[in-house]
Structure 1
Amino acid sequence: MPTPLSICTPTSLKRTPGPHGVKDTNVSNIPHVNAEKDAEVGPEGTKKEEGGKEDAGLPSGMDKGALEVNGEAGGTITSPGPALEDVVRYKQVQDGWSGHAQQNGGLTVPGQGQADGHGKVERPELGRHWSVKDRMDPHLQLMCGPLLAYYTVKDDIWQGAAMVVVRDDGSDLSSAPYITLTFHPHTPPTHDDPSIHDPSIQLLPSETVQSRRIHSYSSRDGNMSFFRFMFEIPLQQVQMVVRYRLNGGAEMDFVVPQRGENMRWAAHSCNGFSSGVNPDEFKGNYPSGYDPVWEDLLLKHHEKPFHCMVGGGDQIYCDALTREPEMQPWITAPDRKSKLATELTDVIREAVDRFYFNHYCKIFRSNAFGRANSTIPMVNMLDDHDLIDGFGTYDDETQASPVMSFVGSRGYFWFLLFQLFVSDEVDGVDPTPNTHTLKSMIIGDEPGPWIPFPSHSLLVYLGPKVTMLALDCRAERKLNRICTPQTYAKAFAEVRKIQGIVQLVILLGVPIAYPRMSFLEHFLDFKYNPLNILARHNAMGLGGMVNKFNQASELLDDLNDHWCANTHKKERNWLVLECQKLAREQKFRITFLSGDVHLAAVGCLFTFNKGKKRHAVKPEEDHRYMLNVVTSAIVNTPPPPGAAKMVAFLGKNKHRTLPQDTDEMMIPLFLQDTDGSKSKLKTALNRRNYTAVEYNSNGELVFDIRVEKSQGAGETVSYPIKAPAPMW
C-alpha cells in the first residue's frame, strides 16, 4: 500500500520485492498507501485461488476486506479496516497514556502493544492498522477504495470520479465524507528527486469535493455505503498532478493531461485466474501471482504517467460464485430440466449479492491492482467473467431460467457500481444522448433480453485527435446477437458528432479479426459428438468438459462468444463494413482493441489485392486498414503452447466470409521471443501482457504491447505496432 511518494520512489518499485525484516508502523487506514506492505508475507496468510488467504490474520493497512463466507471467493473471513470505536479508544489511550494506561494494565486496541511478560507495559504502537498523522477525521471504516474513474473531457474540463465503500457501523457518518484536491505541475522523476511534483507550486486553488451516497448494501454484517465524489478539473497549460485526501487522511495522487494533449493510456484485460489455476506459480518474487505484470505497469506509470487505464473486460473473475454453498442445488441439479427449473429462493438471492460485494471488495483493494486503481483512473467495459462465465452465449432457455438471469442481472448491477461508479437508481437510464451524469455514457433504448438493464456503452475523449468507443457487448447479447441495430446506430451517430478525430479506437471485449475455429465449433455443437456424451457421464475423467449451466461442451460457449462464430458471423461482417464506411466518410483511422483470449496478437483487415502482393494499397491510404490489437491477459494464465500453435497455424488460413474487396491476416509481430531468441509463434505470443498507447505527432497511434519477460519476472518486453495516420 504505497504512500503517494512511495509509489514514486525507485525503492518501492524495485524488481526484487520480498519479505522485509523491519515493519513500518506508519501504515494508513486507506488502502494502497504503503508499497512495502505488498511485499510482506507471514501472519496475514497464504494467497489462494481468486487472491484469497487461508488465514485472514489481523486487520492491516492493506487488508480492508469484506466478509467473505466459507472461503468461496478465495479467503476465510477477511478483516475490514479499523472501526470508529477502535480509533476513539486508541486516541484515548494516546491522550491519557501518562499514568492512566499504566493503571489500567495498558489499554490496547487489537494488534497493539501488550505487556512484555515482566509486568512492564509497552506504549501501544500503531502497528499495521492506521497512522495518527494520516488518520481520517471523521473516521471511515473502509471496505474498498478509494477507487478512481475517468469519464471524458468537455470544454477542457476533465471529468472523473472517486468512490469509496464504507461499513456504516464502524464509521463516523455524522457528516458526509469529503475529498480535498490540490493541483501541482507534473515534473518527471529523476534519480536524485523521485517525486513527480513540487508541492510548493499550486496551479489552481485547492478544492473540497463533497460525496453522494449512491448505494447502500444491507448485509448480515451491517450496512455498507457507496460514496461517489464527482471531479471536474479545468485542464491547464501543463500536465498536472492532482493530490487528494479522503476526510483529511493519507495523500494520494493521479495525473491529468495538459490542455490539448493527447493522452497516454494503458489497456489490459483478464485480471484474474481461472478456476484450477494456482496463482503462486505466477508470483515469482512477488507476494501474489496477481502482482508481477501490474508492478511493471506501475513502474512505467512512474516513469511516464498514464492518464487512464482501459479495462477491456474480465476486470474480475466471478466464476467462483458457483462454489457458494447456497448455489449448489442449481449447480448440482442432475439434469438440464431440473437445472432450468431450479427455484430462485431468497437464500440464493442473498448469496449472489453477498458474493459479488465481497469478491469486488477483495479484488479491487488488493495487491498491485489495488494500488493502480487508486492512482490511475479507470475506464472499464465488461466481458462475461465480470458476470459469470459465458453469460449471454447460452441458448435462450438457459439464459431465461430464473437463477441464470438473476446471476447476470446482479453481476451487471455490481459491474456498474464498482467499475463505473454508476447507480441507475440515482443516475437514471434516459436513452437521450448527453443527459446522463456521465457525459461519456451512451444508454441503450431497451433493457437486455436477460437482464433488466439497457446497455451502457462509453464514448471517451482520449485527446483532441483520439476517441474511444467502448461498446457494451454483454447487456444485449444472445446466442445469435451481440448488439442491437439501434445500439450500433446510436453509437455511430454520436461518433459522427465529434470533430477533429484522427484515430478512433473501438473497444470490443472479444477479438473481431482473429483465427476461425469453425471445424471445432461444428464438431462440439453436434448433438451426438462422442466427447460430450462421455463428458455428461463423467467417463474417462471428461466431466469438466461439460459446462455447469446447460451441459453443452465447455469449450463451445467460449467459441460462441467470438465474433467469428457461425452464430455471429453475419453481424461481424456487417460491423466491419459499417466501420469501413465510417472511416472513409469521416477520414479517420479505426483500430479495434480486444482481450479475452489470453494471448498477445494483432489481427489486420485491409483492402484485398488480386495480385501476388497482399497490400496493393498503402496502409496509410487504405480506409479498410484496421488493426485489431489483442492484449490479454494481465493476470490469467496463458494457454499452453499447443493451443497457441493452433491459433498461429489457423491465422495463416485465407478467409472468404467478407466481401471480395476485404482481406484479413494476423500480423507476424513477434519475430523474437522475450529472451531475444527466434520465436516459434510469430503471430500469437502466449505470455501475460498489457498495452501502453500513445499518439504520435505525425498522426500515428502507437500500441506498445508489453509482454512479460518470463513468468513472475515483473518485467516486460516491448512489441510496438502503429496504426497509421489516415491519408485518403
Structure 2
Amino acid sequence: MASPMFPPQTPGYAESIMSVATATPTAAGFTGPPPGAGVDMYKVHPTNGVYFGPYLRYVNMDVEKGVWLGSIMIVTDAPQPPTIHIHQSMDLSPNPRQLMPRSIYTHQRWQFYKYDVDLQMADATERWTYAVTSHLGCTRYEFVVAGRAETGWRFVAHSGNDFAASTSQNERSKLGGLGFMWKDVLQKNVECGGFHVQLGLGDQIYGDRLWKEVPLLKQWLATPGKENRKNASWTARHEEDVTHAYFHFYTSHFDQPFLREAFAQIPHICQIDDHDIFDGYGSYPDYMQNSQVVKNIGRIAVDMYLLFQHHTTLEILRNVSHDLDLFTITGQGWHFVKFLGPAVVVVGVDVRSERTQNRVLAGPTYQGLFPKVAMLPPSVQHCIWMVSVPLIYPRLDTMESLANTFATGKKAVNAGYNVLGKVTSSVAGIVGGKEVVASGFNQVKKAVGKSGLMGNVVNQFGDLDIGEILKDMWTHDTKDLERTYLIRTLQGIAHQKGIRMTFLSGDVNAAGAGLVHDPSHPSDHKTMYQIITSPIVAAPAAHYILKMLHSNKTYYVPPNGQRSAGDTVLTDTKEDMMEIFHTDASGSPRELKKLMGRRNYVAVVAYDPEAIPGTQYAAAATLGNNGLSKLSLAVDFVVQGDGAFTAPTKYGPVIVPHLEYGR
C-alpha cells in the first residue's frame, strides 16, 4: 500500500494514553486555600438501590460459525454480584443458562462485573431474554439476535447524548428533557420488531462539566500564566476527584429513564468523541494539550470510556491477542471492525486519541486500518465508517474569515464580541447584525458541536478564539490533505472490492446527509454517502448558523497531495449536501433543506430492493444458496417536532445503493 500523502508524527508508546503520570503530594503553582474534594460533591446511588446497568453490548459475530458475541455489565456495591440467566424468549424450560460474572475493575466500594455472552445464531431473527436477580428481586430484559445468514439488520445511530453544562433548565424542559427522543427509540424498537444494534457515535456523556464542578480544576484554571498551568503537578487528589467525577457522570447519566432501558435492551456499539473527555479535546494548543492536568484528564476519561462503553480496561486489552473487538495500532486510540451480518461491516475509528491541531489520525493508524478493510470477505457489500466528526459537511467559510480577521485582535473577541457585527458585514447581511452581536460565537460553537468548555472556559487560557474551535472539523484547512487521503484511499478500496463506503457521524448538532460523487458516473465507487445524526439530547444548532452553512460554495475533492480549491479546480469527485428536509416538522415548507436543527436520530435497515417488489424495505433480505442478494441501505431521519410533547417526524429514506463490483 502506498505511503500517506501527509507525514504525521506518531508518538511513541511512552507518550501514549497508557502512560500514567506519577502522583505528587503537592500542586505547584496553586495559590489560596485548598479546595473541597470533588469526591464529596457526588452522591452515587442507583435508581433501583442495588446496581447500575445492565449495559448490553454487542461485541461482534463469528460469521463462519454463526455465533453472536456480546457482554453485559453491572456496577454494584452489593456483597455479591447479581445473577444473570439467559434463554430464548420462547424457551420456558426451568433451567436457563447462567452467565458467569467477572470482576474487571473496582472504584471505591463499587465493583464492575462483566458477563460475557455467546449465542448460537439460528436461521432467522430470534428473541432472547435475560433476567437480572439481586437480593431485591428480578428484572427481565429482551433483545433480538439476527439469523446467522440474515443480512437485513435493523439499527439506530445517535450522538450528542447529553446536555451541555451551559444549557439552562428552562431550555432543557422546552426540549422535553433528556429522555424524550430515547422514549421514541424504545417505541420504534417495539414497532419494528427490535433493533439488532445501536451505534453511539460519540458524546455519550458530556464530561465538560468537570471544569465547573471539580474544585481543583477550577483552581487550576484560575492559576495565572501559561507556564504555571502547563507545569502544574498532577496529584493523588486530582486522580481521585477526576476519576470519581467521570464515574458519577456515567452512572448517573446512563441511569436516566428511557436511556437506561435502551442500553439494557438494544445491544450497543460505541465510539469516543470529545465530550466523552471534554469539549474540543485534542484540538487545543500544545501548551494546554500537553499539560499534566489535561493529559491526565484524558487518560482517566479514556479509562472510563473503555469501562462503561466497552466493558474492558487497558490491562485486559494488553493481554488480548485478536482484533475481534477493540484493537490499537500505535498504542493511542482504540478502533474496531464489527460485522452486522455477513454483508455489512462497521469500522469504528477513534478520532480523538491521536488528534492534534494539525492531524486527526497518525499515518501508521491509516496503514493499519486500510488493509483490514481491503481484506474483508467477499460477502461484505457495505462498509460503514463510524467517524464521530463528519468528513462531508459545509465549510464555515464566513467564520474562518472572521477568525482570521480577529487573529490580531483577540481582546476584542474576548471582551464580549462587541465588534462582531461591524467586522462581518457579510454575516450581518445574511442574518441581521443585531442577532449576530447578541448570540455571536456561542451559536457558532454550537453549530460545530462545541458548547461547554469551548463556550465558557477556554478564554481563561488567554488566547483561544473561534479559530481553535474550527480546527476540530475535518473540513478545516489543517486537516485538508489528510481528509483527501482518507477519501481517495477508500475510493480505491471500494473500486477493488466492490464495497460501498459510507460515513456515519454526529458531533455537529444538526442532522443531514451529504455525499462525494462523480456527477458523470453517479453510481460508481467514487460515490460515498455521509449520514449525520446529532443531537439526540443536546440542544440543536441555531437557525441562522444553518443558514450560513447553506450558503457555502461548491467544493471538489482534489487529487492526493493537493489542497482543496473550492469550485475553481474541477475534479472527478464533487462534494454535495442532499436536500432532504423539504418541509418542517410542523408541515410548513422549509427554506433550508440540507440541514435540520432539531434533535434527532437515524434508523437504518439493509434490504434487497429486487427481492421486495412494491416496497422500499419492508422485509429483511437473506443470502441465497446461489450467491449474494444485492443490498441497499435505507436511512430514516427521526426528528423531534415543536415543543416537548409533539411526536417526532420521519424524513427519508435516504437510500445508499449497493456497488456493482468494479464500478
Alignment TM-score, normalising by the size of structure 1: 0.72
1:546 and 1:552 in contact (8 A); partners too: no
Deviation sequence 1:207-254 (CA, Å, 0-9, x none): 111011111112xxxx21100001000011232221112236211121
1:568 counterpart = 2:456: no
The 3-state SS of whatever aligns with 1:627 is: strand
> Could you report, residue by residue, the CA deviation over 1:455-499 in whole angstroms, capped at 9, with x for unpaired residues?
211111111111110111111111111112221222221222321
> 2:88 aligns to what?
183
2:357 counterpart SS class: coil
Partner of 1:642: 544
Preserved contact between residue 581 and residue 594 of structure 2 (Cα < 8 Å): yes
Please tell me whether residue 512 in structure 1 is matched to residue 400 in structure 2: no
Q: Counterpart of 1:151 in structure 2: which amino acid?
A: V
Tell me, yes or no, if the aligned pair for 1:272 and 1:290 is still in contact at 8 Å: yes
Give the secondary structure class of the aligned counterpart of 1:567: helix
Partner SS, residue 419 of structure 1: helix
Is contact 2:180-2:644 (8 Å) kept? yes
Q: How far apart are residue 284 of structure 1 and its match? A: 5.7
Q: Which amino acid aligns with 2:488?
A: L
Aligned partners of 2:580 and 2:593 also within 8 Å: yes
What is the Cα deviation at residue 350 of structure 1? 1.5
Secondary structure, counterpart of 2:264 in structure 1:
coil
The one of 158, 161, 165 equivalent to 2:68 is 158
Q: Deviations over 1:586-628 (max 9, x none)?
A: 1011110010001011111011xxxxxxx222x33x1111110
Q: Does 1:471 align with 2:404?
A: no
Distance in 1 (alpha carbons) for counterparts of 2:71 and 2:38? 27
Of residues 638, 643, 646, the one that matches 1:711 is 643
3-state SS in 1 of match to 2:536: coil
In the other structure, the counterpart of 1:60 is none
Q: Residue 551 of structure 1 aligns with which residue?
A: 462
SS in 2 for 1:250: strand
Aligned to 1:370: 260
Kindly state the Cα deviation for residue 177 of structure 1 after the two structures are TM-superposed. 4.4
Closer, same or farther in 2 for the Cα pair 1:711/1:490, shift >3 Å? Answer: farther
1:229 to 96, 105, 115: 115
Residue by residue, what CA displacement relative to the aligned partner does 1:495-525 show, whole Å, maximum 9, x if unpaired? 2232111111011111101111245335425
Cα distance, 1:557–1:179 mapped onto 2, change above 3 Å? farther
Match of 1:212 among 98, 102, 107: 102
What residue identity is the alignment partner of 2:61? V
Q: Structure 2: which amino acid aligns with 1:224? A: W
- Answering whether residue 513 of structure 2 is matched by residue 633 of structure 1, we say no
Q: What's 1:721 paired with?
A: 654
1:400 to 263, 277, 290: 290
Separation in 2, partners of 1:68, 1:339: 20
Give 2:594's aligned residue. 683
Secondary structure of the residue aligned to 1:150 is strand
Question: Using the alignment, how far apart are the partners of 1:339 and 1:548 within structure 2?
Answer: 14
Structure 2: which 5+ runs fail to align? 1-36, 419-437, 442-453, 559-563, 610-630
Which secondary structure does the structure 2 equivalent of 1:605 belong to?
Answer: strand
Letter in 2 for 1:490: G
Q: Does 1:390 align with 2:276?
A: no
Distance 1:565 1:528, change over 3 A: closer
**Could you list the runs of 4 or more consecutive aligned residues of structure 1 that deviate by over 6 angstroms after TM superposition?**
653-656
Which residue number in structure 2 is paired with residue 462 of structure 1? 340
1:601 is matched with 512
Correspondence 1:329 to 2:219: yes
Name the stretch that deviates more: 359-368 or 521-530.
521-530
The alpha-carbon deviation at position 425 of structure 1 amounts to: 1.1
- Counterpart secondary structure, 1:406: helix
The structural deviation recorded for 1:538 is: 6.1
Match status 1:702 vs 2:634: yes
1:77 matches 2:77: no
- Structure 1 position 528, deviation (Å): 4.2
Determine the C-alpha separation between the residues in 2 that align with 1:205 and 1:507. Answer: 40
AA partner of residue 399 (structure 2): L
Distance in 2, matches of 1:251 and 1:466, equals 30
Residues 712 and 539 of structure 1: CA distance in aligned 2, closer, same or farther (over 3 Å): closer
- Counterpart check, 1:482 vs 2:360: yes
Shift of 1:147: 0.6
- Report how far residue 365 of structure 1 moved: 1.2
Report the Cα distance in structure 2 between the residues aligned to 1:279 and 1:487, rounded to whole angstroms.
42
Based on CA coordinates, which of the two structures has the bigger radius of gyration?
Answer: 1
Q: Is the 8 A contact 2:491 2:525 kept in 1?
A: yes
Q: Distance in 2 between matches of 1:668 and 1:510?
A: 20
Structure 2 Cα separation of the partners of residues 579 and 330 of structure 1: 43
**Distance apart, 1:558 and its partner CA:** 2.8
Is contact 1:292–1:715 with CA below 8 Å preserved after alignment? Answer: no
> Matches of 1:293 and 1:152 in 2, distance apart?
27
In structure 1, distance between residues paired with 2:156 and 2:646:
16
Q: CA RMSD in A?
A: 2.5
Specify which of 527, 547, 572 is matched with residue 661 of structure 1.
Answer: 572
Alignment of 1:220-299 (within 5 A): 223-247=109-133, 249-262=138-151, 263-283=153-173, 289-299=177-187
Aligned partner of 2:520: which letter? A
1:367 alignment partner, SS class: coil
**Deviation (angstroms), 1:199:** 5.8
Distance (whole Å) between structure 2 residues aligned to residue 555 and residue 210 of structure 1: 51
CA contact (8 A) 2:46 2:255 kept: no
Matches within 5 A, 1:106-117: none
Aligned partner of residue 216 in structure 2, secondary structure? helix
**Contact in 2 for aligned 1:177/1:210 (Cα 8 Å):** no
Post-superposition offset of 1:358: 0.9
Matched with 2:250 is 360
Q: Does 1:498 align with 2:376?
A: yes
Shift of 1:648: 1.5
CA apart distance, 1:404: 0.6
CA distance in 1, matches of 2:125, 2:553: 42
- Within a 5 Å distance, the mapping from 1:126-165 to structure 2 comes to 141-142=50-51, 144-154=52-62, 155-165=65-75
Change (3 A) 1:228 1:628: same
Unaligned runs of 5+ in 1: 1-66, 82-128, 131-140, 185-197, 448-453, 608-614
Q: Is the 8 A contact 1:238 1:259 kept in 2?
A: yes
What is the match of residue 38 of structure 1? Answer: none
Aligned residue identity for 1:145: G
Residue 415 of structure 1 is matched in structure 2 by 305
Counterpart amino acid of residue 236 in structure 2: D
Q: CA deviation at 1:682?
A: 0.5
TM value normalised by structure 2: 0.79
Deviations 1:518-577 (A, max 9, x none): 4533542567443x2134456869995761574344533331111111111110011010
Q: Which amino acid aligns with 2:392?
A: A
Write out aligned runs for 1:307-326 (5 A): 307-323=196-212, 324-326=214-216
Q: Distance in 1 between the 2:361 and 2:392 partners?
A: 17
Superposed displacement of residue 423, structure 1:
0.9
